[in-house]
């Protein structure tokens, strides 16, 4: 075994220390990997989802099964046009309700326009138009992608200002959604395996309004959603959400509503 001179040993130790220091500085100061969250759809693509929503109030549960098909009609600049087919079945409805609408949105998921094309049975058209409008508004204010790329752990806030108007019912909601890019995750669903970005959304809103012309209503709503977004297309692969609503109607009635929903991609083409 060769014994190194003291000066040589000190020199080797010094080199090792310098190398470790350089590596540490590189690891600590290199730019974080950024992720651009956007919809990168192509014309002709289709995405089919199964959705289940469970609503519980006053000890009663109502489960609604839905199937949604999205067909990408065109992509121009940052505008995406798609056809949406939805069918839903709930215990309180004797037959399935189907509807078709066309919508346009930006590549960040912000709604630009939508138009109902067809509803069956036709007597549900007005109610379904109102339901779809509220659904699209809620998605728009709570889960649109941020305008800038984010690193893992990056956060953004979405302000919520939302007015719901239905016959004999008005409600104004204000609040915010706190959103976070949690990380990368490969998940398996019915449609296959996908490399995803995992996002979380924490929502808190308060609101007040009127039922009819005189009965007041106040609402406080808490919600959390976890979604897995395909890194390549930007499409939602899976999402899970839980919402709690505390309502006071007039001065005599209080009500708590729990809503749980799950959505999963079951088929996509090409």
As a whole number, mean pLDDT of residues 92-100 equals 85
Which residue is associated with the tokens 């016959």?
167
- Whole-model pTM: value is 0.80
As a whole number, mean pLDDT of residues 105-126 equals 89
pLDDT at 211: 82
Burial (0-12, 13-18, 19+ Cβ within 10 Å), 179: buried
The answer on pLDDT for 135 being more than 80 is no
* Confidence bin at 173 (pLDDT 50/70/90): confident
pLDDT, tens digit, 9 for 90 and up, residues 65-76: 999 999 999 999
Domain coordinates in residue numbering, the chain: 34-263
Instruction: Please list the residues that pair with 50 across neighbouring strands.
Output: 67, 264
Nearest of 162, 163, 83 to residue 118 by alpha carbon? 83
The answer on pLDDT for 262 being more than 60 is yes
pLDDT at 58: 82
135 in Cβ contact with 263 (< 8 Å):
no
Instruction: Please list the residues that pair with 134 across neighbouring strands.
Output: none
* Confidence bin at 25 (pLDDT 50/70/90): very low
Peptide bond into 17 cis (omega under 30): no
Instruction: Please list the residues that pair with 98 across neighbouring strands.
Output: 87, 120
Query: Which residues does 83 contact at the CB level (< 8 Å), separation at least 6?
Result: 70, 71, 73, 100, 101, 102, 117
The answer on pLDDT for 162 being more than 70 is yes
pLDDT, tens digit, 9 for 90 and up, residues 179-191: 999 999 999 999 9
Rounded to whole angstroms, the Cα distance separating 160 from 204 reads 9
As a whole number, mean pLDDT of residues 233-252 equals 91
* Confidence bin at 18 (pLDDT 50/70/90): very low
- Which range has the top average pLDDT, 104-113, 119-128, 131-140, 257-266? 257-266
Mean pLDDT score of the chain: 82
- Strands (E) in 212-252, as ranges, are 215-230, 236-249
Burial (0-12, 13-18, 19+ Cβ within 10 Å), 69: middle
Backbone phi, psi, residue 181, to 5° = -90, 105
CATH 1.10.10 fits 34-263, yes or no: no
38 in Cβ contact with 108 (< 8 Å):
yes
The answer on pLDDT for 16 being more than 70 is no
Backbone phi, psi, residue 214, to 5° = -130, -30
Query: Which residues does 88 contact at the CB level (< 8 Å), separation at least 6?
Result: 64, 65, 66, 67, 96, 97, 98
The answer on pLDDT for 1 being more than 50 is no
Rounded to whole angstroms, the Cα distance separating 30 from 32 reads 6
Q: Percent of the chain having pLDDT more than 70?
A: 84
pLDDT at 57: 87
Task: Tokens for 213, please give them.
Answer: 């012309």
Q: Which of 57-61, 118-122, 182-186, 191-195 has the lowest mean pLDDT?
A: 57-61
pLDDT at 124: 82
Rounded to whole angstroms, the Cα distance separating 160 from 173 reads 7
Q: Percent of the chain having pLDDT more than 90?
A: 50
Would you state the torsion angle of the CA atoms of residues 130, 49, 239, 121, taken in this order, to the nearest 10 degrees? 20
The answer on pLDDT for 221 being more than 70 is yes
Would you state the torsion angle of the CA atoms of residues 44, 71, 34, 185, taken in this order, to the nearest 10 degrees? -110
């Amino acid at each position: 075994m060769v014994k190194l001179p003291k000066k040589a040993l000190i020199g080797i130790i010094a080199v090792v220390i310098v190398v470790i220091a350089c590596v540490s500085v590189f690891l600590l100061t290199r730019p974080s990997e950024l992720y651009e969250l956007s919809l990168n759809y192509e014309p002709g693509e289709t995405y089919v989802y199964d959705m289940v929503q469970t609503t519980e109030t006053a000890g009663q549960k109502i489960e609604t099964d839905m199937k949604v098909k999205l067909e990408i009609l065109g992509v121009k600049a940052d505008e995406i046009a798609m056809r949406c087919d939805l069918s839903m079945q709930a215990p309180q409805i004797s037959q399935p309700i189907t509807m078709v609408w066309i919508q346009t949105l930006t590549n960040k998921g912000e709604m630009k326009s939508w138009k109902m094309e067809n509803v069956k049975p036709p007597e549900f058209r007005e109610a379904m138009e109102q339901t779809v409008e509220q659904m699209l508004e809620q998605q728009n204010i709570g889960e649109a992608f941020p305008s800038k790329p984010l690193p893992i752990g990056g956060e953004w806030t979405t302000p919520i200002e939302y007015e719901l108007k239905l016959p004999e019912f008005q409600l104004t909601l204000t609040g915010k959604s706190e959103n976070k890019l949690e990380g990368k995750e490969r998940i398996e669903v019915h449609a296959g395996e996908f490399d995803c970005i995992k996002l979380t959304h924490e929502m808190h809103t308060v609101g007040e309004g009127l039922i009819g012309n005189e009965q007041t209503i106040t609402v406080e709503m808490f919600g959390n959603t976890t979604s897995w977004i395909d890194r390549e297309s930007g499409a939602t692969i899976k999402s899970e959400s839980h919402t709690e609503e505390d309502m006071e109607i007039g001065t005599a009635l209080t009500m708590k509503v729990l809503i749980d929903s799950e959505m999963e991609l079951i088929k996509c083409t090409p």
